[in-house]
Amino acid sequence: MRFAVIVFPGSNCDADMYYAVQDQLQAEVTYVPHTATQLNDIDAVLIPGGFSYGDYLRTGAIARFAPIMPAIIDFANNGGLVLGVCNGFQILTEAGLLPGALHENKDLAFICKDVQLTVANPNTPFSNRFEKDEVITLPVAHGEGNYYCDAETLAQLEANHQIVFRYQDNPNGSVADIAGICNERGNVLGMMPHPERAVEAILGNTDGQRLLSSLLQ
């Protein structure tokens, strides 16, 4: 299985993601720059956290029009696995691959801490190593992780089991405690918490390793 880590100007979790896949999953991984226009021999796309294009305009708004994005959208529409973390989640909503939007945390603070999440749907390619309603811990680090969607969209998310992770103690004001959602087909996941920062026992947490290794199944 071959992973791609997309690198935008301002991505800053790309090296962590690369390391998590290469050293912890022991899978093949390559960086793909924002200027590329094709994804060759890629089985899963990872869109890392950071501040692509300085978060100018809105988080993810400029990245959505980067040269690589049409290839990612095609890849996703053909059923390819796409995981967007933090800024990656913001980019996926801006690109229309996931519904809703992310905006400022309700208390305006940048939140950087471990949070507990409930696994709401373990039947996705990203969560199949977890049990339903299992509580896991992952770090968050964001200023704009406040997920918003309208009531109709939320009802669809609930009905289709697209809410994959929920906060136990909602830190940012997200609708319905949403920490991560997938698309209807289940092949695109966006989440604010950082699995790539929780991949080693020596650093105290391997829940992120379990999440990423779900992709290998």
Partner 1 sequence: MYLAKIYVTYKPSILDPKGESIKAALHRMDYSQVENVTMGKYFELQLAADTKDVDAVVKALCDQLLVNVNMETYRYEIEEVEMA
CA distances from 10 to 26, 55, 115, 122, 206 (A): 26, 9, 25, 32, 26
Beta carbon nearer to partner 1, 125 or 143: 143
Token reading at 216: 């290998």
Q: Which residues are catalytic?
A: 86, 194, 196
Beta carbon nearer to partner 1, 74 or 107: 107
CA distances from 16 to 21, 165, 195, 196, 200 (A): 9, 21, 10, 6, 12
Q: Of these, 37, 38, 106, 135, which contacts partner 1 (CB under 8 A)?
A: 106
183 binds partner 1 (CB under 8 A): no
Calpha distance 142→107 (Å, rounded): 12
Q: Which of 23, 21, 193, 91 is nearest to 31 (CA)?
A: 21
57 binds partner 1 (CB under 8 A): yes
User: What are 191's strand-pairing partners?
Assistant: 85, 180
180 binds partner 1 (CB under 8 A): no
Q: Of these, 66, 149, 178, 212, which contacts partner 1 (CB under 8 A)?
A: 149
Among the residue ranges 76-84, 105-113, 120-128, 154-162, the one whose residues contact partner 1 (CB under 8 A): 105-113
Q: Residues in the site for partner 1, rule: CB under 8 A? A: 57-58, 61, 65, 93-94, 99-101, 103-108, 146, 148-150, 173
